[in-house]
Amino acid sequence: MKNLLTIAGSDCSGGAGIQADLKTFAAHGTFGMSVIVSVVAENTSRVISIHDIPSQIVADQIDAVFEDIAVDGIKIGMLSGADQMRTVSEKLRFYRPSGVVLDPVMVAKGGRALMHPEALETLKAEMLPQAFLLTPNIPEAEAITGMEIHTVKDMEKAAVILRSMGPRYVLVKGGHLTGDAVDILYDGKDYRSFTTERIPTKNTHGTGCTLSSAIAANLANGAEVPEAVSAAKEYVTTAIRHALPIGKGHGPTNHFY
């Protein structure tokens, strides 16, 4: 069994963040571990507050995992500010895990920022160069590149710019456009598009977290990048199709359907 680590934020309502990551890891037959960077008091409707874990404790959690257990795959999610990014980046440089899947989480569906906007430059300088695969959605790709994205062609242009910032692969997720959900994978040479039909539901809390964790698990389980992405997208689509009508807002995806 492969050992998977998520470094991210905790969603007490269980639909996104660390909780979604661990459920996804379990659903992929892997052993899940978690380094909690921020505790987010949130539910399916809103974010109430965010408490950042002190940097030393984040660093200690990473040491605790790496000094004892072989990490076969790693996903990085919510890093709320520049301090958190610097702490994680320093540890990545030290332990050099392969296959880092970086989800540059910025804003929750309800509109609340999960990353301080002033940390954007640190994200670019410290985190992007350490990513094997970067998985921005359209607003995140726009924030990082500074360009507007309206079409699949725009997504391809953004992927080129994003890849020039360091990641080996870029997956721009097109769920924020209209029509089918088209994601574009760029490896520096070719584009591959992955298309699934749009599922009419409001229950999509935690989809981004789930996708990046599923990719990390698939990679650790031996898949090549395009297959890892394709299988993860199928998994998320099924999880959305059978999403749970829990809570008053955006219900969580169903990891074990």
Catalytic: 208? yes
Binders of ligand PLP among 88-107, rule CB under 6 A? 105
Catalytic: 173? yes
By CB under 6 A, name the one of 75, 109, 173, 233 that touches ligand PLP: 109
81 forms part of the interface with ligand PLP (CB under 6 A): no
Q: Which is nearer to ligand PLP, 43 or 230 (CB)?
A: 43
Lay out the site mask for ligand PLP across 28-57 (x = CB under 6 A, - = otherwise).
Answer: ------------x-x---------------
For the chain, what is the radius of gyration of the CA atoms?
16
Instruction: Enumerate the H helices of 165-206 as residue ranges.
Output: none
Residue with tokens 């990490």: 71
Burial class for 213, CB neighbours closer than 10 Å (0-12, 13-18, 19+): buried
CA distance 21 to 193: 24
- From 55-63, 108-116, 163-171, 173-181, span contacting ligand PLP (CB under 6 A): 108-116
Catalytic: 204? yes
Q: Which helix (H) or strand (E) holds 251?
A: none
CA distance 2 to 101: 16
- From 6-14, 59-67, 155-163, 184-192, span contacting ligand PLP (CB under 6 A): 6-14
Closest CA to 38 of 11, 62, 14, 15: 11
Catalytic residue set: 173, 204, 206-209
Give the interface with ligand PLP as residue ranges (CB under 6 A).
8-9, 11, 16-17, 40, 42, 77-78, 105, 108-109, 114, 205-209, 250
